[in-house]
Structure 1
Amino acid sequence: MGLWLTGYFLMSPAVDLENGLYLVAPLGATAVLVFAVPNSPLAQPWSAVIGNTVAALVGVAISLFIHEPTLRIALAVSIAIFVTIMLRAVHPPAGAVAMTAAMSPEAVEHLGFWFALAPIATGTASLVLIAIAYARLTGRRYPFRQFDQQNRHGTADRIAVERLGLSEAELSDILQRYRQSFNLGVEDLARLIGAAELQAAAHQTGTPTAGAIMSSNLITVKANTDLGTVADLFRRHRFTSLPVVDDEQRFLGIIFQRHLISRAREDALRLDRGLIPALRRLIDPERDKPVLAIDIMSVTIPRAIATTPLGALLPLMGDTDVDAVPILEYDKLIGIVTRTDLIAAMARGLARADV
């Protein structure tokens, strides 16, 4: 889909490519990186756009001055690698971009240095923008957060799983020492170390699995339950989340209290009214078309099984908007682990460790 949209854009009148060179093979490799491994340092927007563009410029320049095919290709690729390393824009498809230019002297002669602008720069930028939109829709993160970037709350604190007592320089040194700087970013390394520490702590304290700490006698709603009923259940039981299931107890999604508030706020802004009146209207079962659970439930949340260890559940709630993780067995909901359950289990583990 990303390549189709990119090709459609490159064939538009805004991008005049008379020779029909709309999509080149390296863009396919770029698509693999930005869609399949978006956390890779090699797939980030700077590496992709700058790496491919600079490689195209190198390939065109070499093609204009070197006429022997083998030497032309070898020089184009090697110089492209050197320049992208210097610019900290290493992107594997960039080597193929330089090679494509060196192998296509006729097309290069026709387009000249415009080849770097279209299709390379515009095509790569288009793929990156589509990948960003795709990541938003699927709950992934692209581009990845930088180590010094603020957390989702806008404060300077690191997220819980990254409070390691290690500086960015120390983490970078570890990556350099083990020659992993092209495979992992500092942010990813911090997350991995934090997750490993949590997992190790879980083993040391004998922390139970999700099945041992989950709530299993659940209050659930159906997809066609109106929000008035949902709000009443939240008020009556003091829950912060309600799972949505079908008639066979298959998990469909989950509603958090914040979903009601967010939807009411959107309605308040759209209808130019206060938050409280908008909330009353949202949960009114007598309105012409009541809003249902399926309209606001979240379906892209982490899930676990009964044997999932506590150490694996902690990161799921550490830097997300998830207040509870559903526990499934063959798509059927058998329980739920909330943040309250996690805190209670950790407190018991610490008490046992002190004895």
Structure 2
Amino acid sequence: MWLRSFWPAPMAISKSQQAVSCLGAFCGLSFTAWFCHSVLGQASLWLIAPMGASAVLLFAVPSSPLAQPWSILGGCIVSALVGVSCARWLGHAGWVAGLAGGLAIGVMFALRCLHPPGGAVALSAVLAGEPVARLGYHFVVFPVAINAAMMLLIALLFNNLLKRRYPHRPADHHNPHKTADAVPRDRVGFTPDDLDAVLNARGELLDIARDDLEEILRQTEERAYRRRFGEIRCGDIMSTDVLSVSPQTPVSEAWTLLLEHRLNALPVVNQNRQLQGMLNLHDLLATADAHGECEHIMQRNVLTCKGEWPVSYLLESLGSSPEHRMPVLGEDKVLLGIVTQTDLVAALYRTALETRG
């Protein structure tokens, strides 16, 4: 039984992402080797082995806290400083290499730039022999800092070109209404404070960003909810008799429609019923041109959904944004209906009654 722990767990990563990671590492290492060889020439160390380990982090697990820009730059540079200092003051013995590796980890912890290849950089400064000893503290800049900077540059370009979120930015949980209350989704189930308390109690470093862990747990809750209560689709609860205006509709006419039907917003569609934007009441209140056209004041970036999507998508989107309604679109952005927070609450209430019964 104990030996089973040595067997590797399956990796939940697609074949395409594996190929992308390999391609990224090739691009990063090749460019860094070419650039540093061109700048430093044959007389110097122009590419150090720890960059291979950095490539694994930057291109295979770019969301890892250990792969972020400050981690690679700070981790490599401070580790090189520690390694060179140990070699100059204490020599090149094996125990000095061990001391350099341990001190490098301690400094990286203190500066919040933990980067595993940094340990290898510290050992290289002690054990790599005459070429590094001759460079002294220049080793920190040439090649360590330049290698790290070039690898980071390619990681930024490559990962963002392929729509990977890098650098990894924490999710924004601020209330869109700018009040002190948490967003609705953080008021039920587990809260960010609950997650922080558990992580602090564990007291160990996890190789996953905190906001990624939170999002995984919330999606797990959402999946469990759908399994328990069944799938209600957005198209099941939407309103289909939807009042709308065209981009050329005068603002005064839109204002009259909103007042007459006691609405807070109107979808703006073209002659083919394709959604062009949303006209909100506060847009009308903010404009001074009562004789203008709706297309000049409508909101063009609109949250939308599909009729076949589960309402759990609405729980996330409407619960953490300032919007209180969402257009339901068909093929070619044709407007099929509108789902409001009221529709969502009614559907959840009906589901709860049916489940209880």
TM normalised by structure 2 equals: 0.58
Structure 1 contact 48–91 (Cα < 8 Å) conserved: no
Q: Distance in 1 between matches of 2:153 and 2:59?
A: 14
Q: Map Cα deviations across residues 131-175 of structure 1 (whole Å, 9 max, x no partner).
A: xxx9xxxxx9973258xx764444443322223256736555369
Matches within 5 A, 1:162-241: 162-163=186-187, 164-165=189-190, 168=193, 173=198, 181-185=206-210, 187-206=211-230, 208-241=232-265
CA 1:51–1:118: 2 relative to 1, 3 Å: closer
Q: Distance in 2 between matches of 1:28 and 1:259?
A: 48
Counterpart residue number, 2:314: 313
Letter in 2 for 1:200: A
Bigger mean CA deviation after superposition, 344-353 or 80-89: 80-89
Aligned pairs, number: 297
CA 1:228–1:318: 2 relative to 1, 3 Å: same
Structure 1 contact 53–121 (Cα < 8 Å) conserved: no
Q: Percent identity?
A: 25
Q: What stretches of structure 2 of length at least 5 have no aligned partner?
A: 1-37, 41-46, 161-165
Shift of 1:221: 3.1
Q: Distance in 2 between matches of 1:167 and 1:292?
A: 40
Q: Distance in 2 between matches of 1:330 and 1:242?
A: 20
Find out whether 1:158 has 2:182 as its counterpart: yes
Which of 236, 245, 250 is the equivalent residue of 2:274? 250
Q: Distance in 1 between matches of 2:309 and 2:119?
A: 42
Q: Map Cα deviations across residues 256-283 of structure 1 (whole Å, 9 max, x no partner).
A: 334445xx2xxxxxxxxxxxxxx333x3
Counterpart residue number, 1:58: 79
Q: What stretches of structure 1 of length at least 5 have no aligned partner?
A: 1-18, 135-139, 265-278
Q: Distance in 2 between matches of 1:175 and 1:190?
A: 14
Bigger mean CA deviation after superposition, 165-174 or 345-354: 165-174
Q: Distance in 2 between matches of 1:342 and 1:124?
A: 48
Secondary structure (helix, strand or coil) at the match of 1:252 reads strand
CA 1:335–1:152: 2 relative to 1, 3 Å: closer
Shift of 1:214: 0.9
Q: Distance in 1 between matches of 2:39 and 2:84?
A: 20
Q: Distance in 2 between matches of 1:223 and 1:33?
A: 46
CA 1:197–1:29: 2 relative to 1, 3 Å: closer
Q: Map Cα deviations across residues 202-244 of structure 1 (whole Å, 9 max, x no partner).
A: 4434452111101223223334445444333332333233223
CA 1:33–1:82: 2 relative to 1, 3 Å: farther
Structure with larger Rg? 2
TM normalised by structure 1 equals: 0.58
Q: Distance in 1 between matches of 2:274 and 2:123?
A: 52
Find out whether 1:284 has 2:291 as its counterpart: yes
Counterpart residue number, 1:298: 300
Structure 2 contact 243–266 (Cα < 8 Å) conserved: yes
Which of 311, 325, 344 is the equivalent residue of 1:342? 344
Secondary structure (helix, strand or coil) at the match of 2:305 reads coil
Q: Distance in 2 between matches of 1:96 and 1:229?
A: 70
Q: Distance in 1 between matches of 2:116 and 2:266?
A: 45
Shift of 1:338: 1.4
Shift of 1:313: 1.8
Structure 1 contact 251–331 (Cα < 8 Å) conserved: no
RMSD, aligned α-carbons: 5.5
CA 1:236–1:175: 2 relative to 1, 3 Å: farther
Matches within 5 A, 1:72-151: 83-90=107-114, 143-145=169-171, 151=175
Shift of 1:299: 1.8
Bigger mean CA deviation after superposition, 314-323 or 213-222: 213-222
Letter in 2 for 1:342: L
Counterpart residue number, 1:16: none
CA 1:93–1:310: 2 relative to 1, 3 Å: farther
Q: Distance in 1 between matches of 2:132 and 2:252?
A: 68
Shift of 1:100: 11
Letter in 2 for 1:332: K
Structure 1 contact 240–323 (Cα < 8 Å) conserved: no
Q: Distance in 1 between matches of 2:225 and 2:248?
A: 42
